[in-house]
Amino acid sequence: MHTADAPDPTSGALGPILARADALYHDLTLSAVREHKEAHGAKAIGCLPIWAPRELVDAAGMLPVGLHGAGDRVEVIRGDAYFQSYICQIPRSTIEVALTGRYDLLDGFLFPAICDVIRNLSGMWKILFPGKLSRYVDVPQNFDPAVGGAFFARELRALAEDLSALSGRPVTDEALHASIARYDENRRAIGELMALRERAPHKATASESYLVIRAGDVLPVEEHTAFVRAYVAAAEASDRKPRDHTRVVVTGAFCEQPPLGLIRTLERAGTYIVWDDMTLGARWPEGDVEGEDPDPFVALARAYIARSPATASRYEPSGEKGVPLARLTHKSRAEGVIFAAPSFCDPALLDQPMLTGALDREGVPWTAFKYAENLGQFQVIREQAGTFADSIRLWSDR
Partner 1 sequence: MTSEADAIQKEPSMLVQKAMIAEHYEKLAHAKELGKKVVYTFVPGNLTELMNAFDVLPVYPEINALSSAMRQKAGRYIAEAERLGHSEDVCTYVKCDIGMKRQGNVGPTGQPLPPPDLLLLSYTGCFTFMKWFELLREEYGCPVVMLHTPYQGDGEITDNMRRYVVEQLEREVIPAFERLTGTRYDEDRLKAAMAKSAQAEDDMVAVLESAKHRPSPIDAYFGGVYYIGPMFTAFRGTAGAAEYYAQLRREVGGRVASGEGPITPEGPMGEQRYRLVVEGPPNWTNFRELWRMFHEEGAVVVASSYTKVGGFYDQGFRHDASRPLESLADYCMGCYTNRSLPQRLDLLERYVRDYEADGLLINSVKSCNSFSAGQLLLLREIEKRTGRPAGFIETDLVDRRYFSAANVKNRIESYLQMIGEKRRSRGARGARGEEVRP
- Residue 380 touches partner 1, criterion: CB under 8 A: no
Q: How far is the CB of 106 from partner 1 (least distance, A)?
A: 18
Q: Which stretch binds partner 1 (CB under 8 A): 50-58, 86-94, 219-227, 277-285?
A: 86-94
Cβ–Cβ < 8 Å for 187, 229: no
Helix/strand/coil percent split, the chain, to 5: 50, 10, 40
- Backbone phi, psi, residue 146, to 5°: -75, -15
Task: Tally Cβ neighbours within 10 Å of residue 174.
Answer: 10
Q: Which stretch binds partner 1 (CB under 8 A): 42-50, 153-161, 183-191, 293-301?
A: 153-161
Q: How far is the CB of 227 from partner 1 (least distance, A)?
A: 33
CA distance 317 to 321: 9
Instruction: Decide: helix, strand or coil at residue 169.
Output: coil
Q: Which stretch binds partner 1 (CB under 8 A): 48-56, 142-150, 195-203, 298-306?
A: 142-150
Cβ–Cβ < 8 Å for 338, 274: no
- Residue 361 touches partner 1, criterion: CB under 8 A: no
Q: Which is nearer to partner 1, 6 or 349 (CB)?
A: 349
- Residue 128 touches partner 1, criterion: CB under 8 A: yes
- Backbone phi, psi, residue 64, to 5°: -75, 135
For the chain, what's the residue count?
Answer: 398
- Residue 309 touches partner 1, criterion: CB under 8 A: no
Q: How far is the CB of 348 from partner 1 (least distance, A)?
A: 9
Determine the Cα angle at 231 with ends 233 and 24, to 5°: 165
Site string for partner 1, 92-111 (x = CB under 8 A): -------------------x
- Residue 338 touches partner 1, criterion: CB under 8 A: no
| End-to-end Cα, the chain, rounded Å | 32
- Residue 373 touches partner 1, criterion: CB under 8 A: no
CA 294 to chain centre: 28
In order, the DSSP letters of 208-219 are HHHHHHHGGGTS
Q: Which of residues 265-294 bind partner 1 (CB under 8 A)?
A: none
> Which residue of 1, 4, 39, 86 would you call a contact of partner 1, by CB under 8 A?
86
CA distance 287 to 191: 9
Residues making contact with partner 1 (CB under 8 A): 81-84, 86-87, 91, 111, 113, 115-117, 119-124, 126-128, 135-138, 140-142, 144, 146-148, 150-151, 154-155, 158, 312-313, 315-317, 319, 321, 343-347, 349-354, 356-357, 370
